[in-house]
Amino acid sequence: MNAMTEPKTDYDLATIRRDFPILTRQVHGKPLVYLDNAATTQRPNQVIEAEAAYYREWNANIHRGVHLLSQKSTDQFEAVRVEAAKFLNAFSENEVIFTRGTTDGINLVASSWGRANVKAGDEILVSALEHHSNIVPWQMLCEEKGAKLVVLPMNDAGELLMEELPKLLNSKTRLVAVNQVSNALGTINPVIEIARQAHAVGAKVLVDGAQSVSHMAVDVRALGADFFVLSAHKLYGPTGVGVIWGREDLLNAMPPYQGGGDMILNVTFEKTEYKKAPGRFEAGTPNVAGVVAFGAALDYVASVGLSAIAAHEADLLAYGTKVLSAIPAVRLVGTAKHKAAVLSFVIEGAHPHDIGTILDKQGVAIRAGHHCAQPIMDRLGIPATARASLAMYNTHEELDKLGEAVRKVVEIFG
């Protein structure tokens, strides 16, 4: 397939790519084509420098310290909380809790809200499109409490069967947990409608936003969610940092998830009094440098603009779909009408791990496997897929290189 020119827009792709130093390196003697963004995005210089500058200039433990470094570190840390609240259109920064990532956030809700509110005979509903992180914690809670896990099924295209939802929701449903975007297929789920129906039966709603926040603007008020979780490292930020947003009244009614320093008002050997949210859920020393760097990532995304990023990625998705569809041996997996920037595919006779290995030798980095979404693979009758996932810095030329590398796989496996 002949390379097409990049779309003519005001999107400054060349400048964006210069901001990401890793994109200039070579792999196996070939220029890196990084298409594993659903696993983790790369970091711009602004984020790398923010973390380094924190350690060079302000490193100190936060809260309670009276010296300048501690006060400055605390100010930077708490400023990111305010910024994250604005990013999500939260009602208050008190609704923003810093975690280690999406998985940590889901486990927090399962362990705190779940243990306090789920009892024997209750039901928790998840979708067939969930990452293991939005399945296993609920399974563990159900086993502990004697509750039941209910699954909203999907069709062959990777779309949820919304007509089944009213049949599955009832007075026993305590929580609905659903991702906004599927990591394995890219499907964009109708979260607003799911939340509306869930609330109609009195259930709470947790939205896994790990795969959505880098591709589209998120407004937790408009979504109607009760909890929303995300990871910084999938939003051009550092690893080991995440956010859980929750409605303030819910958070303040939830028992602490972990005990330790900085989440207390008063401690005696007889009794401990806890802070209100968010403090009661942030025991111990957090990843201060990571949170500061996450603030730089939020600034960077805002400077580019999520609407501009979404338009660029929609173009990439359409172009990449054409590139792979033009190869007869390739079958795309996940063909929902509403998708984010994920291209999952299989090649008959070639295991996805072999596909990934051959592409790596051509400098093309993709993900191969079940993507921590084994139930999806089981539903589709396949063991795994090869997955190319796109980001703001990817290009048509890179997708052409993906196509060339995939053709080599086809040649090798006949």
Cα separation, 248 vs 266, whole angstroms: 21
Q: Residue 160: which residues within 8 A CB-CB, separation 6 or more?
A: 127, 128, 129, 152, 153, 154, 187, 189, 190
Residues 291 and 77: their CA atoms lie apart, in Å, by 6
The dihedral over CA atoms of 94, 96, 98, 100, expressed in degrees to the nearest 10, equals 150
Within 13 Å of residue 311, how many CA atoms lie on the same side as its CB? 12
Residue with tokens 């590139």: 323
Are the C-beta atoms of 297 and 43 separated by less than 8 Å? Answer: yes
Distances (CA, A) of 92 to 81, 157, 262, 288, 352: 10, 38, 20, 21, 44
Token reading at 328:
């007869």
> ω into residue 256 within 30 of 0, thus cis?
no
Which position has the token pair 């939020």?
A: 298
Give the gyration radius of the chain's Cα atoms. Answer: 22
Residues annotated catalytic, as ranges? 372
Helix (H, G, I), strand (E, B) or coil at 192: helix
Q: In the structure encoding, which two tokens stand for residue 345, read together?
A: 């595919």
- For 16-40, the DSSP string reads HHHT-GGGG-EETTEE-EE-BTTT-
DSSP string across 277-324: TTGGG--S---HHHHHHHHHHHHHHHHH-HHHHHHHHHHHHHHHHHHH
Closest CA to 378 of 205, 151, 175: 151
Tokens of 330: 């390739």
Element (H, E) at 410: helix 396-413
Beta carbons of 304 and 392 less than 8 angstroms apart: yes
